[in-house]
Structure 1
């Protein structure tokens, strides 16, 4: 009985820890920039098949739900990711999923040359320079890394970063402890001020 109780407590603690870290990362390096024009940048994940994989499909859904209802007409959704082994760019696969499966009919732009997160940010900069608000969509740790990269490359644009809807309590709950562990490894190169949380 004690063993079962201990396992249950440990499992609950791991879930709570994963939830908390992902919540925290989703609120780091974002502000409350106003204005109507916004860009939602959806980062691709390696995709060897000819259609969007599970992770990219989730990122597309999170990107579309990140479009503010009151600014849908002036929002551009930018799918970012280069070619994979299938020959199709991650950006194109995500855009195809958004349009054909989710029936998204908003403004879509493609950045289909990048192979790393740093390149994602470098290559989308020309597409986001004229907007008032910028949302970067991915799993919370990866999105934070991308926001930190934008801050390094273009601090003026980083001031326009706002929260995306890529964190929801309970979503990915079972996987969140593993995502948290992976996130800690992924974010090991960030400086202390690049982890600053905005509540």
Structure 2
């Protein structure tokens, strides 16, 4: 009985820890920017098949829901990701999913040359020059890494970063501890000031 209780407590603690870290990462390196125009950048994930995979479908949904309620027609959604083994690009597969399944009819741009997160940011920068608010959408740790990369490459544009709606309490709850462990590993190269959280 004690063992079961201990395991239950450990399980609850792991879930709470995963939630907390993902919540924290979703708030790193963002401000409260103003202005009328915004861009939502949706980062692609490895996609060997000819349709958007589970992770890319979720990222597209998170990107679409990140559009400000009053800015649907003034928002540009940028899908970023290069070629896959199926021949199509991650960007194109995500855009197809957004349009055909989610029936998104807003402005869409494709960045289809990137193979890494650093390249995602490098290649979307020309598309971000004229917007007031920038949202980067992915799993929270990955999005934080991308925001840090934007800060390194273009600090002036990083000043325009605001929160995307890519963290929701309870969403992906069972796997959030694993995402947290993986996130800690992928973020090990970030500096302390790149982990700032604005509450």
Instruction: Return the alpha-carbon distance in structure 1 between the equivalents of residues 34 and 152 of structure 2.
Output: 22
For residue 69 of structure 1, report the CA deviation from its aligned partner.
Answer: 1.1
Instruction: Return the alpha-carbon distance in structure 2 between the equivalents of residues 36 and 90 of structure 1.
Output: 29
Instruction: Show structure 1 runs of 5+ residues with no match.
Output: none
For residue 155 of structure 1, report the CA deviation from its aligned partner.
Answer: 0.1
User: After superposition, what is the alpha-carbon deviation per residue over 1:67-104, rounded to whole angstroms, capped at 9, x for unaligned?
Assistant: 00111111000000000111100000000000000000
The aligned counterpart of 1:192 is 192
Deviates more, 1:68-77 or 1:144-153: 68-77
Instruction: Return the alpha-carbon distance in structure 2 between the equivalents of residues 84 and 95 of structure 1.
Output: 14
The aligned counterpart of 2:55 is 55
Find the residue that maps to 1:64 and give its secondary structure.
Answer: helix
The aligned counterpart of 1:153 is 153
Instruction: Return the alpha-carbon distance in structure 2 between the equivalents of residues 111 and 39 of structure 1.
Output: 13
Find the residue that maps to 2:79 and give its secondary structure.
Answer: strand
Find the residue that maps to 2:20 and give its secondary structure.
Answer: helix
Matched positions, count: 199
User: After superposition, what is the alpha-carbon deviation per residue over 1:141-174, rounded to whole angstroms, capped at 9, x for unaligned?
Assistant: 0000000000000000000000000000000000
Find the residue that maps to 2:70 and give its secondary structure.
Answer: helix
Instruction: Return the alpha-carbon distance in structure 1 between the equivalents of residues 26 and 45 of structure 2.
Output: 18
The aligned counterpart of 2:79 is 79
User: After superposition, what is the alpha-carbon deviation per residue over 1:107-137, rounded to whole angstroms, capped at 9, x for unaligned?
Assistant: 0000000000000000000001100000000
Find the residue that maps to 1:150 and give its secondary structure.
Answer: helix
Q: Does 1:168 align with 2:168?
A: yes
Instruction: Return the alpha-carbon distance in structure 2 between the equivalents of residues 104 and 69 of structure 1.
Output: 14
Find the residue that maps to 2:71 and give its secondary structure.
Answer: helix
The aligned counterpart of 1:25 is 25
Runs of 4+ deviating beyond 4 Å:
none
Instruction: Return the alpha-carbon distance in structure 2 between the equivalents of residues 51 and 88 of structure 1.
Output: 9
The aligned counterpart of 1:65 is 65
Instruction: Return the alpha-carbon distance in structure 1 between the equivalents of residues 129 and 179 of structure 2.
Output: 31
